[in-house]
Chain A
Amino acid sequence: MYNYLWLIPIMPLIGCIVNGLLGKKFIKNEKAIGAIATLAVFSSFLLSVKYFFQLLGDPVKTHQQVVFSWMSVGDLQIDWGFLFDPLTAIMLLVVTGVGSLIHLYSIGYMHGDPGYYRFFSYLNLFVFAMLMLVTGNNAMVMFVGWEGVGLCSYLLIGFYIDKKSAGDAAKKAFVVNRIGDFGFLLGVFLLFWTLGSEHGVWTLNFVDLAHHGHVLGFGGTVVTIVTLCFFLGATGKSAQIPLYTWLPDAMEGPTPVSALIHAATMVTAGVYMIGRMNVLFAMSPTTMMTVAIVGAMTAIFAASIGFAQNDIKRVLAYSTVSQLGYMFMAMGVGAFTAGIFHLMTHAFFKACLFLGSGSVIHSMHHALHHAHLDDDAQDMRNMGGLRKKMPITFITFAVSCLAISGVPGLSAFFSKDEILWWTFGSTRGMWYVWAIGAVAAGMTAFYMFRCLYMTFYGKEKTDARAKDHIHESPLVITIPLMVLGLLAVVGGYIGVPAILGGSNHIHHFLEPVFGHASEIYHIGIKEAMHHNHALEYGLMALSIAIAFLGIAVASVMYLMKPELPAKFTKMFPKFHRLVFNKWYIDELYDAIVVNPVKAFGTFCWRGFDVKVIDGVVNGVAKLVGLCSAGLRHTQTGLFHNYALAMVLGMVVMVAVFVLR
């Protein structure tokens, strides 16, 4: 039935190896390299589609394929195995589908880059790791993918190896991710040890965990600690408070990388992981609450930073952090389906936004380069009025902006609205989380439209020498944009809620994965609200109103009266500086974590390593040297001394023999 499941991750790996080993010396041709990489991912996509439809008609929803036994320690058996169920199917479609489009886009975007083959090799490696992450049937295989995507993220953020800021950003991403990975690993150890030694269930297999996880006990301390550890991993990978700071810096990488890794796929790994372990999370209300609150805080916090950023990619990066906050909010209140749903729609519109910004940056860069100017190609203050020059980019960007803002009928409206409804009405929901989420939605609408207006509307602020060179990107770039734009529009229709006359397909599709835990641990819409259509309509109307309010404010400030923002800045200079500098969070981290750690490292190096360790080593050597300096005086080099010693030794030996 699903015998070729293993091929899905292997195809990109083959692409990676071929391009990585042969790309520089043998293939050379850019088109061939791009084609190999894109086809590798695309073939995975086709296979995923085939299996997806196969799964739709399959009464059994969970399939496993064990390729080989990886580790066997005592009773713990860890296989190199794949899991295919509705959750994995959706993730596969998102990763390979969006991945293929972004590969196609990269062919045009990376044109002429000396590291062309390297880029595609890394990108394929990333897709491989991501597919391992979503198809792995146990926590260890997932961890391999988890680390793999982290590595590829590092490699791709630092892709422009001659840029110091890129290298720094890559390091930052890697180190911050390590903190999260540490939490993940601790969680895995604690989980399998507790399950094994206390309950006799030696397993890390997700299916077994779903069946036997209940032995840990509802609300137990251990399960809370385990899930909090996992959540720490998720905050690292998915850029949540407190570990979100790496994601905006990650924008140093090429734009397709930002779109694929730092918007559509990798950063959603944390959400996927919580969904995959929903049984464990459902057992700990404390963790769920933490997840929801952290998600909400992240959503509003990142949105507020998005207000004052001028770099187009940074706005999108903070938007990504904010949207990820939404997903965690959903996970935290038990709306697993809604979280995964939002993950999917977000992958569409955010990838589209990033690729659109990439298209803008690409042509800006070309134009500035052509005019020999040093202006920042990513600064929105240098753009403006681009909608006539780049119509396709503009339309897709605008559609995605509408979608992310939650305009009715577009994809994010359905997913975001479902999340908000659950935060309000779920048995694990909290009204203040809903309130934060709603405000953040309005803020999202505001800063996205600010971004849209600054880039595509208003006066042309580009240098006069360069602006005539700005023109629409080639087809290879615009086709993915169009496809993703279309998906951003229609992607939501698989999850139209019942109240709007839909049948919420995705909810039913994911039922086998999430239904079990939700049923046992009573996660769902509160009984009192279940049939309260008025409330649901009311909330929906409210969130639509908030979204339009955000759009309206943005329109007033950036479209109708462009002088307003400067006035605001003057009116609240301190506040503006605070927001503009991202609430000084990076500086805060530097002060309380980075610098102390650096100081400690310096102490370990200068104080401990150089003085103590080297001192001991050199001291021993010196001591031996001193001893031998004394002892070597016995080596007179004179024959008689040696002979005398020999004779005395012989005498002693004979004496011992005699007297014994």
Chain B
Amino acid sequence: METIFFYIIALVALGSGLIVVLCKSPVNSALGLVNTFFCLAVFYVMLYAPFMAAVQIMVYAGAIMVLILFVIMLLNLGTEARKRYTHGVVWAALASLLSLVTFLVFIKKGQITGAAGDITKDVVMSVGHTELIGKTMFTEFLLPFEIASILLLVAIVGAVVLAKKEV
């Protein structure tokens, strides 16, 4: 049951990814992307990370995609010019295929190493995912968290400066 569900979701995710890449209209691409995000959020839930799923939907599907759509509307972008593809399509296809092959070989051959922790499914179920994230974030990763906030601040200032009419 779960496996079938996984495959359905995977199919939807890949299909909407294709829409993102291939659609002429940016609006369609954006909607495809939202769909992909949702699928990924489903994957996160299946991976016992409900908080990440929520954040995925709120930040990506909610904030970033709205922003992108907003810009698309603002600039009133129609469909792309007649020549939608650049002349490097063959090269691009070759490069992405190559990368796919290498990644797949990598996944097949590569051994997963890394520091194994003790946060099993059961721990997540009993303690709660949000609490676990919060504890790790505000103890072990406090400093990167603060830096991330500064990064966001800088990004806000930069965005304002760049978008202003008269600099």
Consider the complex of A and B and state whether they touch directly, i.e. have CB atoms less than 8 Å apart. Answer: yes
Q: Hey, which bits of chain A sit against chain B, CB under 8 A?
A: 640-641, 644, 647-648, 650-651, 654-655, 657-658
Question: Given A647-B95, A651-B95, A657–B88 Cβ distance below 8 Å?
Answer: no
CB distance from B16 to the nearest CB of A (A): 22
Query: A654 near B102 (CB under 8 angstroms)?
Result: yes
Q: Residues 76-99 of chain B: 1 if any A CB is under 8 Å from the residue's CB, otherwise 0?
A: 000000000010100110011011
B114 on interface, CB distance cutoff 8 Å: no
20 A-B pairs, CB-CB below 8 angstroms? A640-B88, A640-B92, A644-B95, A647-B95, A647-B96, A647-B99, A648-B98, A650-B99, A651-B98, A651-B99, A654-B99, A654-B102, A654-B103, A654-B106, A655-B102, A657-B106, A658-B105, A658-B106, A658-B109, A658-B110
Q: Which residues on the A side are within 8 Å of B102 (C-beta)?
A: 651, 654-655, 658
Residue from the list B86, B105, B106 in contact with A640, Cβ < 8 A: B86
Q: Which residues on the B side are within 8 Å of A657 (C-beta)?
A: 106
Q: Which residues on the A side are within 8 Å of B99 (C-beta)?
A: 647, 650-651, 654
CB distance from A410 to the nearest CB of B (A): 98
Q: Which residues on the A side are within 8 Å of B109 (C-beta)?
A: 658
Among B95, B96, B106, the one with the most A-chain Cβ atoms within 10 Å of its Cβ is B95
CB distance from B133 to the nearest CB of A (A): 30
Q: Residues 40-83 of chain B: 1 if any A CB is under 8 Å from the residue's CB, otherwise 0?
A: 00000000000000000000000000000000000000000000
Query: A644 near B88 (CB under 8 angstroms)?
Result: yes
CB distance from B88 to the nearest CB of A (A): 6
Q: Which residues on the B side are within 8 Å of A644 (C-beta)?
A: 88, 91-92, 95
Q: Which residues on the A side are within 8 Å of B105 (C-beta)?
A: 658
Q: Which residues on the A side are within 8 Å of B92 (C-beta)?
A: 640, 644
Closest A residue by C-beta to B103: A654
Given contacts A641-B88, A644-B91, 6 further A-B contacts (CB under 8 A): A640-B88, A644-B95, A647-B96, A654-B103, A655-B102, A658-B106
CB distance from B77 to the nearest CB of A (A): 17
CB distance from B6 to the nearest CB of A (A): 26
Q: Which residues on the A side are within 8 Å of B106 (C-beta)?
A: 654, 657-658
CB distance from B98 to the nearest CB of A (A): 5
CB distance from A637 to the nearest CB of B (A): 14
- CA gap between A651 and B105 in the complex, in Å: 12
For the complex of A and B, 10 pairs with smallest distance between CB atoms: A647-B95, A654-B102, A651-B99, A658-B106, A651-B98, A655-B102, A658-B105, A651-B102, A640-B86, A640-B88
Q: Which residues on the A side are within 8 Å of B98 (C-beta)?
A: 648, 651
Q: Which residues on the A side are within 8 Å of B86 (C-beta)?
A: 640
Q: Residues 104-134 of chain B: 1 if any A CB is under 8 Å from the residue's CB, otherwise 0?
A: 0110011000000000000000000000000
CB distance from A651 to the nearest CB of B (A): 5
Among A650, A651, A655, the one with the most B-chain Cβ atoms within 10 Å of its Cβ is A651
CB distance from B87 to the nearest CB of A (A): 9
CB distance from A462 to the nearest CB of B (A): 88
- CA gap between A654 and B99 in the complex, in Å: 8
Q: Which residues on the A side are within 8 Å of B96 (C-beta)?
A: 647
Q: Which residues on the B side are within 8 Å of A654 (C-beta)?
A: 99, 102-103, 106
- CA gap between A655 and B86 in the complex, in Å: 27
Q: Which residues on the B side are within 8 Å of A648 (C-beta)?
A: 95, 98
CB distance from B51 to the nearest CB of A (A): 31
- CA gap between A344 and B59 in the complex, in Å: 106
CB distance from A293 to the nearest CB of B (A): 91
CB distance from B34 to the nearest CB of A (A): 24
Q: Which residues on the A side are within 8 Å of B103 (C-beta)?
A: 654
